[in-house]
Amino acid sequence: MKRWGGFAFATSGALWLLALLFAFVSPLPAAEQRFPPPEFETGHKLPITTTPGPRALAREFLDAGVLLAALGIATWLVYRRRSRRGLMALSIASVAYFGFYRQGCICAIGAVQNVALGICDPSYAIPLTVLVFFFAPLVFALFAGRVFCAGVCPHGALQDLVLIKPLKVPGWLEHGLGLIPFVFLGAGVAFAATGSAFVICRYDPFVPLFRLTGSVSLLTLGAAFIVTGMFVGRPYCRFLCPYGALLRLGSLVSKWRVRVTPDFCTQCRLCEHSCPYGAMREPVVAAAQPEPPARQRRRLAWLLVALPLLITAGALGGARLAPAAARLHPTVALVEQHLRQQKAPVTHPPMTPEALSLERAANDPDPLIASARKIRERVTLACWLFGGWVGLVIGIKLIALSLRPARTDYEPDRGACVACARCFEYCPNELVRRGIAPAGPLKTAAPELVALVEQRR
Amino acid sequence: MTNPFRHASTFLLAALTTAWIAGAFLALVCAGLVYQRITASSNDPWKSPQLLELKAQLQDAPRDEGIKSRIRDLDLKFRQRYVRRLVMGRSGGWLLLGGSIVFIAALWTVAEARRRPPLPQPDHDAGARALRHAAASRRAVGVTAGALGIGLVAIAFGLHSALDDPALAPMTAAAGVTTAPRAGPPLPPHSEFLANWPRFRGPLGGGAASSGEAPLKWDGKTGTGIVWKAPVPAPGFNSPIVWGERVFISGATAEKREIFCYDAATGQLRWQRAIEKVPGSPAESPPISEETGYAAPTMATDGRHAYAIFAHGDLAAVTFDGDVAWSKHLGVPHNPYGHATSLAIWDGKLLVQLDQGEGRPHNSRLIAIDGGTGRVLWEKPRSMASSWATPIVIETAGSPQIVTLGVPFVIGYALADGRELWRAERLDGEITPSPIFAGGRLLVIHPDNKMMAFKPEGTGDITESPLDWKAEDNIPDITSPVSNGELVFTVTSRGIVTCFDLADGKTLWEKDLQTEAHPSPVIAGNRLYVTCTNGTTIVAAAGREYQELARNELGEKVFASAAIVRGRMYVRGLKNLYCLGPATKPASP
């Protein structure tokens, strides 16, 4: 295990460092491969620049249909067939279709931003397919939990398929890092709602892999996620995915939930370490020296009082982010560049995209500056809300960790479980159900467990 | 659970070997792709030093077919490499994908074969561990929240917006919150522009006064013929410009830049305005030759604002009441002697020729600015190094065009959009004399070498178009020629005045004044005014034979060119500004 851990740490760490390095070294890949037009007469006629047409409506419907079918199959595989192999096959199909064939777009993760922009900008019409991609997994989550993550989402499916030697992430670290998807969700919605940028798509590490091309920094980031994902189960889904955060919330109230055992829990603890995603929860047993209830109540009361304070502090702090956040908007970015050019001119080679943009800005800067100011106002409001959201998430998380859960069986955490079906195979009752193991008294090395199981029976 | 591979050591070995081979293959492909990426930038046409060098050479020799051919070859090579790189990248991607599938599958097989089923042991510490876990999780959430907070605070306070920059406040505040474009004050009629002296060497830049009247005699010692004399508070070699009742000059030192407005009738200083806090203006002044100074370019006006540019690259517009209407910094011109090209103006468009760089061009450009608002209308890069001549605007075939000089080209640009209309490779040396347009011909000077006359016709490269004539006697190096539509007069800096026939360029007469002359000559009616650096002005008949009409002493050194409006002449001496002419107030336009 130590050897695996060392290898995982070394390779993943190196790739993460490289990704970080490339992000600073080559932040602007857009113009890297563009060719300048000829600078003198050559007789060559430049071809007319064309842009690919929109995807045919029938194909859009096909995408939506495939998604709905895949969600249905995933639900059936998780709840009826309880089949890990079936989910693996579905994962391969999803990676092939939504990943490599559709090149990671359209996807439910990015659709969050379209919906946010559509709500805040009346002039933006959300395509029907995008709506389906956004709402269908959520609706399924309300009934069946995260079946979308199980084998339909190409990002999750890819990480699931590359998981070879899962190392256990400490529970406390899982909870700490678990905040990030909610923060990323808030940021993604805020930037999209203000029309600044679709940051979730911009920094998606898997789309360049599906397209087999992209900026060096994102390709390296994708490779870092894949290599890390060989040892840490679904690092993107657990610690970054903003749509996963939404699905997690939906799954908390889902009608059905994933159960390890098809019958009843024998408390054999065989499934205890079966989940590579840290979603398995143990039964709650009384500690030898339990924490005094008064102390627990006091802590909870303090946290309940602190919640509005956290939200307020977050909102106030978020507003301070507006000047920096607004720079992600292309108009504001151009104005910033134009103004800095006035202060300290930088010479760009003529006819380069940078020079042409600045020339356009310099030709009529006043409306541009006024427009940038308006955008800044919108971004300021969004940053207020974003900060408040971050405060709310932190507060709720702390409160949730202060509540004493009541659990008598081993069961997957409703929010964290991605319904991968791995744990099923660890349950003796499941093996009996499949006819692999004979029904009868449980044989185990732990007599206490035998007694406990018999008692429950 | 059953493990089908537990005893299949050969199978396990095969899987392990496959994983190693696939891993090595992946590493090899990755290395190839990374190498390809690294070398990509040197094949980038935007960045290739080789290609940039060739392009620079082409700017110096634009008709060199050899250089063009090399550029084409190199460009083709880059494009071929680019396409090859795309193909290789794509193939590499598929190879990586295939290799990864084999690698993962092999490793997965090995991992499955080595997997041991769980064997749970009694856990008596579960309850206490759950409590510790909850406490540690709360701390972890706190730490993550703290780290997030620190990160966001670093972003909030680490990244500053130019929109909030106090130094840029005038510019951003001017934008207001409305998207409606600002409109400048109304432009006076063109006839008024022509009746005044709104730029260097008069409205057309040719040095000819619109009215035929001008003073004949004056004397600086006795005050005869001097209407008023006013001290100039700041140094500057720029010439006065006049609009109605106002005379404008600028002055500057390394520390301060100012515009002065005098009453044309009385000489009283109406106001002086310091040009300061221009967004982007350098805190420290660039080193400038004393012979040029910080305020060599002559101002311009369109009747709405008066415009001034300084050696620092600061450009400002002031209202006739002395308020700054707008200002902007155009970057410090990299000029070996200091920027001296005066502003040109036509139809409310302010024209700034910023030729700069030594030997090689360095961000040279021609900029058209809406005088009313300060908005840049267009900006055109120029492949020329520093020059000091001032552009003129000429009207041919009904559409105005800007004529600029800069080694080695005379270039005509459309005033409307800055489109290059034609260019002729005719210049060399340090281009200081400005062009003039007389009798349908452009007269341009290759300093100390020749004066050429040609018609600004044709499109593209008109170098091969024949000249109407060229003259090689007594060609000036600093001053600009002047013409009355029949004759052309030049003055060398050594003081030799020469008269040429505008029709054929033949020398008609020459006169050695035996003193230095840096101001450009001017013409009013049939009189030619040649002002020498020592302050002596020779008034000669603008005819086919030399005839001196008067010789006037100002008693003060003069480097600037005179302005003549409504019978009065305005001369800037080294220390004072003079108004020469009849004492009676001239009729207003």
- What pLDDT is attached to residue A53? 65
The torsion angles phi and psi of A186, rounded to 5 degrees, stand at -60, -45
Is the same domain home to B200 and B74?
Answer: no
Asked if A336 has any chain B CB less than 8 Å from its own CB, the reply is: yes
Q: Is residue A201 part of a domain?
A: yes
CA distance A17 to A223: 12
User: Both tokens of residue A149?
Assistant: 């993550």
Q: Is residue B176 part of a domain?
A: no
Q: Is residue A273 part of a domain?
A: no
* pLDDT exceeds cutoff 70 at B236: yes
Q: Considering only CB atoms, which chain A residues are within 8 Å of B330?
A: 345
Size of interface A-B (CB pairs under 8 A): 230
- What pLDDT is attached to residue A32? 43
Is the same domain home to A237 and A302?
Answer: no
Asked if A29 has any chain B CB less than 8 Å from its own CB, the reply is: no
Q: How far is B250 from chain A (nearest CA, A)?
A: 23
Does residue A409 sit in helix, strand or coil? coil
Q: Is residue B124 part of a domain?
A: no
Domain end position, chosen among B86, B114, B142: B114
Taking an 8 Å cut-off on Cβ atoms, the answer to whether A373 and B121 are in contact is no
Is the same domain home to A195 and A324?
Answer: no
Among candidates A35, A162, A324 on the partner chain, residue whose Cβ is nearest the Cβ of B155: A324
* pLDDT exceeds cutoff 80 at A153: yes
| Cα torsion B194, B197, B198, B200: sign | positive
> What are the tens digits of pLDDT across the range A159-210?
999 999 898 899 999 999 999 999 999 999 999 999 999 999 999 999 999 9
Question: Crossing angle of helices A108-120/A179-193, nearest 10°?
Answer: 40
> What are the tens digits of pLDDT across the range A355-404?
667 777 776 677 788 889 899 999 999 999 999 999 999 999 999 998 87
**Confidence bin at A6 (pLDDT 50/70/90):** confident
Among candidates B108, B176, B376 on the partner chain, residue whose Cβ is nearest the Cβ of A363: B376
- What pLDDT is attached to residue B67? 87
* pLDDT exceeds cutoff 50 at B306: yes
Taking an 8 Å cut-off on Cβ atoms, the answer to whether A176 and B159 are in contact is no
Q: How far is B253 from chain A (nearest CA, A)?
A: 21
Q: Is residue A153 part of a domain?
A: yes
Asked if A298 has any chain B CB less than 8 Å from its own CB, the reply is: no
Taking an 8 Å cut-off on Cβ atoms, the answer to whether B171 and A369 are in contact is yes
Q: Considering only CB atoms, which chain A residues are within 8 Å of B331?
A: 345
Which range (A61-75, A415-429, B360-374) has the least confidence?
B360-374
Q: What residues make up the domain containing B85?
A: 9-114
> What are the tens digits of pLDDT across the range B92-113?
999 999 999 999 999 999 888 8
Q: Is residue B403 part of a domain?
A: yes
Is the same domain home to A249 and A351?
Answer: no
CA distance B143 to A177: 10
Overall average pLDDT of the A294-303 stretch = 91
| Beta pairing class for B226-231 and B241-243 | unpaired
Domain end position, chosen among A256, A285, A304: A256
Cα dist. B90→A99, B94, B499 in Å?
Answer: 16, 6, 73
Which range (A111-115, A342-346, B313-317) has the least confidence?
A342-346
Domain end position, chosen among B84, B114, B144: B114
Q: Is residue A453 part of a domain?
A: no
Q: Is residue A266 part of a domain?
A: no
With contact defined as beta carbons under 8 Å apart, do B473 and B507 qualify?
Answer: yes
- What pLDDT is attached to residue B517? 94
Is the same domain home to A105 and A185?
Answer: yes
Is the same domain home to A94 and A227?
Answer: yes
Taking an 8 Å cut-off on Cβ atoms, the answer to whether A398 and B120 are in contact is no
Chain A 135-194, residues with CB within 8 Å of chain B CB atoms: 161-162, 164-165, 170-177, 179-180, 183
Taking an 8 Å cut-off on Cβ atoms, the answer to whether B141 and A180 are in contact is no
The total domain count for chain A is: 2
Which residue in chain B is spatially nearest to A426 when comparing CA positions?
B1
Which residue in chain B is spatially nearest to A322 when comparing CA positions?
B156
**Confidence bin at B239 (pLDDT 50/70/90):** very high
Asked if A213 has any chain B CB less than 8 Å from its own CB, the reply is: yes
Domain end position, chosen among A379, A402, A425: A402
Best mutation target among B74, B76, B144, B159 (most A Cβ atoms within 10 Å) is B144
Domain end position, chosen among B92, B114, B136: B114
Is the same domain home to A158 and A205?
Answer: yes
Question: Crossing angle of helices A179-193/A365-402, nearest 10°?
Answer: 150
> What are the tens digits of pLDDT across the range B362-393?
778 999 999 988 888 888 888 888 899 999 99
Is the same domain home to A313 and A216?
Answer: no
Is the same domain home to A297 and A229?
Answer: no
Which range (A441-445, B357-361, B379-383, B536-540) has the least confidence?
A441-445
% chain B with pLDDT above 70: 92
Taking an 8 Å cut-off on Cβ atoms, the answer to whether B165 and A335 are in contact is no
Is the same domain home to A196 and A93?
Answer: yes
Q: Is residue A391 part of a domain?
A: yes
Q: Is ipTM > 0.90 here? A: no
Q: What is the DSSP letter of A151?
A: H
Taking an 8 Å cut-off on Cβ atoms, the answer to whether A285 and B329 are in contact is no
Overall average pLDDT of the B235-264 stretch = 94
Q: What is the mean pLDDT of chain A?
A: 85
Q: Is residue B42 part of a domain?
A: yes
Residue A103 or B39, more confident: A103
* pLDDT exceeds cutoff 70 at A36: no
- What pLDDT is attached to residue A93? 97
Q: Is residue B219 part of a domain?
A: yes
Is the same domain home to A299 and A242?
Answer: no
- What pLDDT is attached to residue A369? 86
CA distance A236 to A163: 13
- Please report, in angstroms and rounded to a whole number, the separation of the first and last CA atoms in chain B: 107
Is the same domain home to B448 and B339?
Answer: yes
- What pLDDT is attached to residue B155? 86
Taking an 8 Å cut-off on Cβ atoms, the answer to whether B123 and A269 are in contact is yes
The total domain count for chain B is: 2
- What pLDDT is attached to residue A80? 92
Q: Is residue A38 part of a domain?
A: no
Is the same domain home to B212 and B78?
Answer: no
**Confidence bin at A446 (pLDDT 50/70/90):** low
With contact defined as beta carbons under 8 Å apart, do A350 and B359 qualify?
Answer: no
Is the same domain home to A225 and A315?
Answer: no
CA distance A380 to A364: 25
Q: Is residue A47 part of a domain?
A: no
Taking an 8 Å cut-off on Cβ atoms, the answer to whether B141 and A176 are in contact is yes
- What pLDDT is attached to residue A24? 64
Domain end position, chosen among A353, A381, A402: A402
Q: What residues make up the domain containing A386?
A: 293-402
Q: How far is B382 from chain A (nearest CA, A)?
A: 10
Asked if A47 has any chain B CB less than 8 Å from its own CB, the reply is: no
**Confidence bin at A432 (pLDDT 50/70/90):** confident
Is the same domain home to A95 and A223?
Answer: yes
Q: Is residue B574 part of a domain?
A: yes
Which is nearest to B329 in space by CA: B282, B263, B383, B397?
B282
* pLDDT exceeds cutoff 70 at B46: no
